[in-house]
Amino acid sequence: MYFCSMETQRQRKIAGVIQKDIVDILQKAAIDGGLRNTLISVSKVSVTTDLSIAKIYLSIFPNEKSGELMEGIKSNQPLIKHELSQRTRNQLRRVPELLFYLDDSLDYIENIEKSLKREENPIENRDLLPKRKKS
């Protein structure tokens, strides 16, 4: 598995196609599953240079439901991949393996803003902010 920092035009195009279709698939599944007040968005898709793996970063609002939703999405990954292959059969020869990750950047930004409004300044004391996990 090789993720290159410089994406080719083909990688960007495939990532865009996957992002657009995954959003439709997940939102339709959420509505069909009875999750009316839940917003699932795909914040980023990155594809390996050999186009075999796609990392999909999801933002889920409200955050309380994100854990159980991510478990459901990961357990239904074969069904999601099949639906994606049906939608992209004229664009992609082979659908990459889908890896789903929770995008915590909005929470991280929110924690920074809350910290800046307090008396303790996280810029001067970096120990006030939790360390961010890299995925």
Q: Please report, in tens digits, the pLDDT of each residue of the chain (135 residues total).
A: 555 567 789 899 999 999 999 999 988 888 887 777 788 889 999 999 998 999 999 988 877 878 888 888 899 999 999 999 999 888 888 899 999 999 877 777 777 777 777 666 666 666 766 666 665
Amino acid at residue number 74:
K
Q: Which domains does the chain have, with CATH numbers?
A: 9-112 (3.30.300.20)
Give the closest residue to 55 by CA, choosing from 88, 11, 109, 107. 11
pLDDT at 77: 92
Q: What is the pLDDT of residue 99?
A: 94
- Predicted TM-score (pTM) of this structure: 0.75
| The residue to which tokens 């074969």 are assigned | 78
pLDDT at residue 1, as a whole number: 53
Which helix (H) or strand (E) is 81 found in, with range?
A: helix 77-87
Residue 39, helix vs strand vs coil: strand
The confidence score (pLDDT) of residue 133 equals 61
Q: List C-alpha distances in Å: 64 to 5, 71, 130.
A: 32, 13, 19
pLDDT for the residue numbered 104: 78
pLDDT at 35: 77
Side-by-side strand order, sheet with 53-61: 39-47, 53-61, 97-102
Q: Report the pLDDT value the prediction gives residue 134, as an integer from 0 to 100.
A: 61
